Chains A and B, each alone.
Chain A
Amino acid sequence: MGNGADGIFFLTGKDFNNAGTASSNLKAVLERMGIAQDIIRRTAIAAFEAEMNVVIYAVAGMMKYRVTDTEISVTVQDMGQGIPNIDLAMTEGYSTAPDHIRAMGFGSGMGLPNIKKNTDNLSVNSIVGEGTTLEFVIQIKD
């Protein structure tokens, strides 16, 4: 490789018809860079789950990525309701998704655990009433 890349995508709350666009764009960037399939798959899954949470629970947000020779780091930051108890939110099965969101297939409380499972490092910071910032890293092993 030898070359890095970085970029940013904007996310809009409640915009379900464009939801998933940022993560598929990120996936396309990584494919163009020739990153290994497995690394791309894990990154895309984590990015999709984070993106959907912004669409569902926040007003707006952004996804920033940076790719180096050794790792992919992604920051998903939103303006939204925030998470009062992060440990609880990270628990598999815990969800506050309302019924109309559940009807679309969300709300199993597995999004954050899926991010955790697919990344090498995850940090979640949140201020109630202001927003949430997720940062995750996927190591690129050669």
Chain B
Amino acid sequence: MELQELINSLSLEVKTPELDLHREVTGGYASDLLSDVIGNAHKGNIWVTLQVHLNIVAVASLKELAGIILVNSRNPDADTLKKANAEKIPVLTSTLPTFELVGKLYALGLRCR
């Protein structure tokens, strides 16, 4: 599934509008622990988290993730967005809490792989 489709289906707000959103999402991972994501997320995954600190961009970039969705309308730090643009990691936000957002991602066919 393409990231842009996912954004439309889930009415996500795009915090990095300069970035190309036509990229393939291979699956998903949900965690608020950075080293857990480093250890267990897969390349191309969309990452669901409530962390907003700029280190999330470093992690997403290391793992070549398709993007980051912040839950509960969390606002990314200004530094986070600056780094996200530099590293070309899309940052999106959802009004939903993790549980509901992940349920919807699963219903769209995404799995943890």
Q: Which residues of A contact B (CB under 8 A)?
A: 16-17, 19-20, 23-24, 41, 44-45, 48-49, 52, 104-111, 113-114, 117
The distance in angstroms between the C-alpha atoms of A105 and B32, with both chains bound, is 6
The distance from the CB of A49 to the nearest CB of chain B, in whole angstroms, is: 7
- Pair A110/B33 contact, Cβ less than 8 Å: yes
- Dominant secondary structure at the B interface: helix
- The chain A residue sitting closest to B86, CB to CB, is A24
Q: What bracket does the count of chain B residues touching chain A fall in? A: 20 to 34
Contacts of B54 in A (CB 8 A): 17
The distance in angstroms between the C-alpha atoms of A41 and B79, with both chains bound, is 24
The distance in angstroms between the C-alpha atoms of A111 and B32, with both chains bound, is 14
A-B contacts, 14 of them at CB < 8 A, read A17-B79, A19-B55, A24-B58, A24-B61, A45-B38, A45-B62, A48-B38, A104-B55, A106-B34, A106-B35, A108-B36, A110-B35, A114-B38, A114-B39
